[in-house]
Structure 1
C-alpha cells in the first residue's frame, strides 16, 4: 500500500493536522482494516473504489465516496470493495469546530456524507476532489474550501486548546483532576467544553492518546514484554492495559501483535 503525508499551509495548521493519501491495488489490500481511534476527525474522499463498514453486531453498510468520520471511541472495521485511492484531511483534535454546522458530539463513530454536512457546497467540493488529477490539486481545492468557511470562525476556547496540548505532550497520562487543576476549571465544566468542541471527554481523549502512543511503541520498538509495555505507558497494571487495548482495537495485545498492528496503523499518520 502506498501511503503519503502532506503538511497544510500555515493559515490552516491550527485546524488541520495533515493530509494523506492511500493507494493500493485490490490484490495488495487486506480484506479488512481496523481504523483505531486517534482523537481526530477526518474528511475522506474515495477517488478510487469505496469501502464497506462492518459495525459490530449490525449489518454492514457501504460508505459514501465523500464523508466526514466523527470522533471514534471504538475500532472501526472497513473492507475495500476494489482499488484503493483515498485522500484524507486529518484535523487537529479540536480543529473541525470552525467548520461544523452540526453537533460534534452526536456524530461519534458516524460517517456523515459531505452534502449533508455542507449542503450543495459539500457535493460540489466532493465532486471536484474526486475528479482532480493530482494530490496537489486536491490539497489546493480543499484548502480554498476550508479557508472560505473560516470567515465565520468560532472563538477559540483557550482552555480546551491548552488542555489538548497538555494531553498530547503528556501522552495522555494526566488524570482529568490534574487537567482541571492545571487550567483552574472544575471537572464538569472542562468535560462540557470538550464534549462540544472535540466530541470526546478529556478522559476519552487521554485514553485515546495513550493507546496510540502504546501502539507506536509496538510498531517502532522491539517489545520483549507486554507487561513492561503497560508500565512504560503508565497503565495501573496489565489488566488495565488489556482492557483499554481491547476497547480501542477489538483485540487483546497478544492477538493484535504482528501483521494486524501494521495494517491497522496504516490509517494513522504522525504525531
Structure 2
C-alpha cells in the first residue's frame, strides 16, 4: 500500500510529496526509470536490508533500478530545484548519479536511517522524514530567486521562451543563470526544458487510449514527429513505439519493466 504525505508550510513549495510503499512488490526484477528533471531521496526500509538513504540526482537519460527483494521503500520527491536547500552540495555535483546520502550529510543521514527503520508505523515514518527535512531547511541557505522564477517560466517545457529571454526576465545574464540553475536544479536550463517537455509527452501518451504521435508532437511544441522521436531516443533509450510495447501495467509513465 502506498502512503503519502503532502508537505506543509515552507516544505510545500520545495517537495512534491513524501511517500512510503510498504507493499513494494514487482513481477519483474528491474525497472527502467526515465528522466523527469528533478531529484529524489530513496530509503529501502525492507527488514534485513541496509536502510541507507540514497540521493538520486537529476538525470539526462534512463537508469535501471533493481527491485528484487525490495518490500518497503520511502521516498522524497522534490519539485524541480527544490532539493537545493537540503543537499549540502550543488545539485549538479550528483547529476546522473545515485549516491549514499551519508556522503552529503555525514552522520545525520545514518541517524535518519535509524529513526526511519525503527519508527512503528507508516505515518510515523512519513512524519519523521518531514521533521528532519524541516530541521534541515531551517539551517540551509535560501534558493536563488532568479532560478525559482526561471523554473516557473519554463514550466512543462512545451511553450517556454528561449533561455536568453528567460535570463532577461529574471534579471540575470545567460551564463550566470545557467550556473545558478545547474547548481540548484542539477541540469542546464535548455536541457531541463527538453526533459520537462519529454515528461509531458509521457503524460499525454499515458492518458490516451490510442496514441497519435504526430498530434502529441504538435501539442508539446516539437517541430515535427521526427524531432519528438530524436528526443525520445535520447531520454528513454528507445523509440516511442518500443516504449508503448514495454509500458506494462505500471502507473508511473516514467517507469518501465526492464527486459530480463
Say yes or no: TM over 0.5: yes
2:19 aligns to what?
20
CA–CA separation in structure 1 for the residues paired with 2:248 and 2:200: 13
* Secondary structure of 1:211 counterpart: helix
1:196 to 183, 196, 216: 183
Change (3 A) 1:11 1:175: same
1:70 to 40, 50, 57: 57
What are the residue-to-residue correspondences of 1:31-70 with 2, within 5 Å? Answer: 31-48=29-46, 65-70=52-57
**C-alpha contact (below 8 Å) 1:172/1:205 kept by paired residues:** no
CA–CA separation in structure 2 for the residues paired with 1:116 and 1:241: 37
Change (3 A) 1:115 1:156: closer
**C-alpha contact (below 8 Å) 2:33/2:254 kept by paired residues:** yes
1:111 aligns to what?
98
Change (3 A) 1:78 1:257: same
Aligned-pair distance for 1:185?
Answer: 2.7
Aligned-pair distance for 1:223?
Answer: 3.5
**C-alpha contact (below 8 Å) 2:20/2:72 kept by paired residues:** yes
Aligned-pair distance for 1:159?
Answer: 0.9
Aligned-pair distance for 1:167?
Answer: 1.5
2:67 aligns to what?
80
CA–CA separation in structure 1 for the residues paired with 2:251 and 2:236: 9
CA–CA separation in structure 2 for the residues paired with 1:35 and 1:98: 25
2:5 aligns to what?
6
List alignment gaps of at least 5 residues for structure 2. Answer: 256-260
Aligned-pair distance for 1:173?
Answer: 4.1
Aligned-pair distance for 1:253?
Answer: 0.2
1:98 aligns to what?
85
- 1:134-161 Cα offsets, whole Å, 9 max, x none, are 2211121112111212232213311111
Aligned-pair distance for 1:23?
Answer: 4.4
Change (3 A) 1:93 1:194: same
* Secondary structure of 1:77 counterpart: strand
1:29 aligns to what?
27
1:214 aligns to what?
201
Aligned-pair distance for 1:249?
Answer: 1.2
Q: Considering only aligned residues, what root-mean-square deviation do their CA atoms show, in Å? A: 2.5
CA–CA separation in structure 1 for the residues paired with 2:60 and 2:120: 34
CA–CA separation in structure 2 for the residues paired with 1:261 and 1:9: 34
Residue-pair matches, total = 255
CA–CA separation in structure 2 for the residues paired with 1:73 and 1:217: 20
Change (3 A) 1:85 1:78: same
**C-alpha contact (below 8 Å) 1:45/1:130 kept by paired residues:** no
**C-alpha contact (below 8 Å) 2:18/2:76 kept by paired residues:** yes
List alignment gaps of at least 5 residues for structure 1. Answer: 52-62
Aligned-pair distance for 1:64?
Answer: 7.3
Aligned-pair distance for 1:49?
Answer: 7.2
CA–CA separation in structure 1 for the residues paired with 2:86 and 2:76: 13
